[in-house]
Amino acid sequence: MSSHDLLLTGGRVIDPSQDLDTIADVAFVGGKVVAVGPNLPRDGVADVRDVSGKLVTPGLIDLHTHVYWGGTSIGVDPTDYARRCGTTTMIDAGTAGAGNFAGFRAHVIEPCEARVLAYLNVSFAGIFAFSDTVMVGESEDVRMLHPRACLHVANLNKDLLVGIKVRVGARASGAMGYAPLDIAIEVAEEADLPVMCHLDWPPPSRRDVVTRLRAGDVLTHCFRPFPAAPARGDGRVREEILEARERGVLFDIGHGMGSFGFATAEAMLDAGFLPDAISSDVHSLSIKGPAYDQLVTLSKFLHLGMSVKDIIAATTSGPARAIRRPDLGTLKPGRIGDATVLEISDAPVSFTDSLGETRNGNKSFVLSGVVIGGKWWHDAA
Ligand SMILES: [Zn+2]
């Protein structure tokens, strides 16, 4: 007997949440994963897909995206993005603030078949002026950093919100220093949510930011190039970065346009410091490079020598921990039936970082298919 809706057969199943890397079938029923194992019964299965030679992973999570398409100049379309790189869950990193979250929810998040969750920007307007032609930081004006407005909207949208976002640095907050971070933490403590913090150029200093972050808070752009890099020029990891990891702060790549350096990444990986999450920071500018998308970002780490299993962990179980959603990023039976099917190509490829430095390689992840809610949702072939 069998009444599975969908069966993926013969793939290399990599699920770090179960410490799994094995050839197996994966079965889905009623929107959920129901079994992972060899030679599952095929009789009566509505949709059998042979995925031998391919990787089957939990639905990929991109912890740092900007998908408020149409409502903000920074946003890209989440459905197009999920089809492009197999991200079944996209975490929007504070594109919207208290003043415009309702539109994000109604016009983008709810109509999207892929899952969109969000950090709420502590700035009322969210990231409202980010484009080729206009660039104004949303944390530059203290009048926009309204803790009660932010808390109110956070409490109204608890089902979708995973934390409070704040951007500090000369680019995003002008001369405000760490004040916007202190305000974000004030709201986050009251709402019992973590903070995701962006840091670009000082002020504030890396030390002033990193020492403020609490267990479970996320430092994004964590492998950024100088200034505010986590490693010194000679490759040694900064003390406050090591102390923060010890304390339980989580480290997210957030590649984006200006926030990823090969030299930094090589120093950190050489020191054995793996990111908790690898994310693209995709937005309307970075999608044209050097980040491009989540699969390109993950492929850079493949080139840098991180293991496939560690990379998949950093885009499934790692981000699931950061957003406190252990039901996502896993293929455990009974959990949500999202999966991503990938291939590893050995075609020559050239990767570029935020400083324009390149690395030539011959390994990259390529999308084959996407399962959402237990259904074959997109065929990349
Ligand atoms: Zn971002």
Q: Which pLDDT band, with edges at 50, 70 and 90, does 1 fall under?
A: very low
Report pLDDT digits (tens) over 84-94: 999 999 999 99
According to CATH, what is the number of the domain 6-57+333-379? 2.30.40.10
* Cβ contact 249:219 at 8 Å: yes
Report pLDDT digits (tens) over 325-363: 999 999 999 999 999 999 999 999 999 999 999 999 999
Say whether pLDDT at 381 is over 90: no
The pTM (predicted TM-score) of the whole model is 0.98
Cα dihedral across residues 359, 360, 362, 366: positive or negative: positive
Distance from the CA of 26 to the center of ligand 1, in angstroms? Answer: 34
CB atoms within 10 A of CB 228: 21
294-303 vs 262-270: helix crossing angle, rounded to 10: 50
Task: Classify strands 6-15 and 55-58 as parallel, antiparallel or unpaired.
Answer: parallel
Q: Which distant-in-sequence residues (6+ apart) come within 8 Å of 169 by Cβ? A: 198, 199, 200, 201, 202, 203, 204, 228
Report pLDDT digits (tens) over 174-195: 999 999 999 999 999 999 999 9
Write down the domain spans for the chain: 6-57+333-379, 60-322
pLDDT value, residue 3: 67
Distance from the CA of 24 to the center of ligand 1, in angstroms? Answer: 36
- Which tokens in the block code for residue 302? 């493949």
Distance from the CA of 378 to the center of ligand 1, in angstroms? Answer: 26
Q: Which distant-in-sequence residues (6+ apart) come within 8 Å of 234 by Cβ? A: none
Distance from the CA of 256 to the center of ligand 1, in angstroms? Answer: 7
Distance CA 325, CA 131 (A): 32
Residue 239 belongs to what H/E stretch?
Answer: helix 239-247
Distance from the CA of 357 to the center of ligand 1, in angstroms? Answer: 21
Phi, then psi, of 174 in degrees rounded to 5: 55, -130
Distance from the CA of 11 to the center of ligand 1, in angstroms? Answer: 33
Report pLDDT digits (tens) over 275-328: 999 999 999 999 999 999 999 999 999 999 999 999 999 999 999 999 999 999
Length of the chain: 381
Say if residue 347 is exposed, middle or buried (CB neighbours under 10 Å; 0-12, 13-18, 19+): exposed
Distance CA 112, CA 132 (A): 27
Say whether pLDDT at 168 is over 50: yes
Distance from the CA of 5 to the center of ligand 1, in angstroms? Answer: 37
Distance CA 331, CA 329 (A): 7
- Which tokens in the block code for residue 83? 């089809």
* Cβ contact 301:278 at 8 Å: yes
The 8-class DSSP code of residue 105 comes to I
Distance from the CA of 18 to the center of ligand 1, in angstroms? Answer: 30
Distance from the CA of 194 to the center of ligand 1, in angstroms? Answer: 16
Distance from the CA of 66 to the center of ligand 1, in angstroms? Answer: 6
Distance CA 315, CA 191 (A): 26
Report how far apart, in Å, the C-alpha atoms of 284 and of each of 73, 89, 123, 128, 293 are: 7, 18, 20, 13, 11
User: What is the rounded average pLDDT for all residues in the chain?
Assistant: 97
pLDDT value, residue 4: 81
Distance from the CA of 173 to the center of ligand 1, in angstroms? Answer: 14
Distance from the CA of 308 to the center of ligand 1, in angstroms? Answer: 25
Q: Which distant-in-sequence residues (6+ apart) come within 8 Å of 376 by Cβ? A: 6, 47, 49, 369, 370
DSSP for 8-19 reads EEEEEEEEGGGT
Q: Output the CA torsion 108→116→75→218 (10° steps).
A: 150
Phi, then psi, of 74 in degrees rounded to 5: -85, -15
Report pLDDT digits (tens) over 21-77: 999 999 999 999 999 999 999 999 999 999 999 999 999 999 999 999 999 999 999
According to CATH, what is the number of the domain 60-322? 3.20.20.140
Buried b (16+ CB within 10 A) or exposed e, 109-130: beebebbbbbbbbbbbbbbbeb
Distance from the CA of 259 to the center of ligand 1, in angstroms? Answer: 9
